[in-house]
């Protein structure tokens, strides 16, 4: 059963991460009656709106707000900071250009998802969200993360997708330049367990990432990485390392210290070889090197030393 689960993840790691967020299907404008009904349960899902209704802003016990396909919505009132019980805030497919500074008052917020909007800069007040477990950023014209991200001590999952490229935005097209690196302050997020960064222009990883000793999944794919820091070898709790679709020419030998690694995906890079000590990865179950220049003869030697590991190079190595 364990091998079947790992095989499933191996398959989706080559397909799911490659997908962009789809444009939502046409939705109907949320009616006042629907809002009233939802508010009874302390949540609200707003579609095709041009402002957040006052009745929502004044719902002090509100736990969850979802805003979808609202291209007429261009700003969020500072009064949202009064919703101190809010735990989830999802904003997707809008023309919002910034988050209000009053977001700092949402001390119980656990999930923040921002997607396909015109937000160019995340406020430093983001760092005040001390309860945040999940931060998800998709298809936004931001070019860097604020240093205050280091204050998100309870963050467990960081997702950054589609910050570079051309993307549909209603009847328009967003041209995004991406971010080049992750701030070194990320090393302060000791509870971080998963980092997922795809199609966002990342060309370097700070060595401070090695301080994330609880990290189990590091996935940075379809970016511009030419090298990775040897300090990654200190992430001994890591089970999944996805570095596919980058520009890597070498893999540091220190990667062979990842004693709990189960999935290593290096597809579509510029690799000619792997470290000789890769056989030390005794827990490795799947290795993908398709789209590189590593000869099958070298892969067969690895297979001989790691017989329980499935090695994919366009075909399974026997």
User: What is the DSSP code (8-state) at residue 146?
Assistant: -
Cβ(100)–Cβ(122) under 8 Å?
A: no
Cβ(66)–Cβ(93) under 8 Å?
A: no
pTM: 0.93
Measure the CA–CA gap between 136 and 125, rounded to whole angstroms: 16
Cβ(229)–Cβ(206) under 8 Å?
A: yes
- Residue 88: which H helix or E strand, with range? strand 88-94
Measure the CA–CA gap between 266 and 290, rounded to whole angstroms: 8
The superfamily CATH assigns to domain 1-20+229-318 is: Ribonuclease Inhibitor (3.80.10.10)
Cβ(137)–Cβ(159) under 8 Å?
A: yes
End-to-end CA distance of the chain: give it in Å, rounded: 22
Measure the CA–CA gap between 178 and 173, rounded to whole angstroms: 15
- Predicted local confidence at residue 170, as pLDDT: 86
List the chain domain ranges: 1-20+229-318, 28-198
- Predicted local confidence at residue 20, as pLDDT: 52
Q: Token match 């477990």: residue?
A: 133
Q: How far is CA 248 from CA 205, 224, 317, in A?
A: 12, 8, 22
Cβ(187)–Cβ(212) under 8 Å?
A: yes
Measure the CA–CA gap between 50 and 39, rounded to whole angstroms: 19
**CATH code linked to domain 28-198:** 3.80.10.10
- Predicted local confidence at residue 234, as pLDDT: 97
Provide the token pair at 148.
Answer: 């205050």
- Predicted local confidence at residue 1, as pLDDT: 52
3-state secondary structure of 280: helix
- Predicted local confidence at residue 148, as pLDDT: 95
3-state secondary structure of 253: helix
241-252: b or e for each residue (b if 16 or more CB lie within 10 Å)? bbbbbbebeebe
Measure the CA–CA gap between 262 and 10, rounded to whole angstroms: 10
Q: Token match 């510029």: residue?
A: 270
- Predicted local confidence at residue 12, as pLDDT: 45
Measure the CA–CA gap between 206 and 209, rounded to whole angstroms: 6
The residues, any chain, with a CB within 8 Å of residue 206's CB and separated by 6 or more, are: 181, 182, 183, 184, 186, 187, 229
| Nearest CA among 159, 20, 305, 198 for reference residue 287 | 305
β-strand partners of 46: 67
- Same CATH topology for 1-20+229-318 and 28-198: the answer is yes
- pLDDT means per 10 residues in the chain (318 residues)? 50 48 69 96 96 94 97 95 97 97 97 97 96 98 94 97 93 92 94 98 96 97 97 97 98 97 98 96 98 97 97 96
């Amino acid at each position: 059963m364990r091998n079947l689960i790992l095989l499933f993840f191996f398959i989706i790691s080559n397909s799911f991460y490659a997908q962009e967020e789809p444009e939502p299907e046409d939705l109907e404008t949320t009616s006042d009656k629907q809002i009233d009904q939802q508010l009874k349960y302390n949540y609200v899902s707003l579609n095709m709106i041009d402002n957040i209704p006052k009745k929502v802003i004044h719902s002090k016990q509100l736990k969850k707000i979802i805003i979808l396909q609202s291209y007429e919505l261009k700003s969020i009132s500072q009064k949202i900071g009064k919703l101190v019980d809010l735990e989830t805030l999802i904003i997707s497919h809008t023309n919002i250009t910034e988050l209000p500074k009053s977001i700092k008052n949402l001390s119980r917020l656990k999930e923040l998802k921002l997607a396909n909007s015109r937000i160019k800069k995340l406020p430093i007040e983001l760092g005040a969200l001390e309860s945040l477990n999940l931060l998800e950023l998709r298809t936004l014209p931001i070019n860097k993360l604020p240093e205050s991200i280091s204050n998100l001590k309870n963050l467990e999952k960081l997702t950054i997708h589609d910050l570079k490229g051309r993307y549909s935005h209603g009847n328009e097209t967003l041209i995004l330049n991406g971010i080049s690196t992750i701030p070194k302050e990320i090393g302060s997020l000791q509870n971080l367990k998963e980092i997922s960064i795809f199609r966002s222009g990342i060309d370097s990883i700070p060595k401070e990432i090695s301080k994330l000793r609880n990290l189990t999944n590091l996935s940075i794919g379809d970016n511009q990485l030419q090298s990775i820091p040897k300090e990654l070898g200190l992430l001994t709790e890591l089970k999944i390392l996805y570095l596919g679709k980058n520009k890597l020419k070498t893999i540091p030998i220190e990667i062979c210290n990842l004693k709990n690694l189960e999935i290593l995906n290096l597809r579509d890079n510029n690799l000619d070889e792997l470290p000789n000590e890769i056989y030390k990865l005794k827990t490795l179950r799947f290795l993908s090197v398709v789209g590189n220049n590593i000869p099958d003869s070298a892969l067969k030697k690895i297979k001989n030393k790691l017989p329980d590991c499935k090695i994919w190079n366009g075909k399974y190595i026997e």
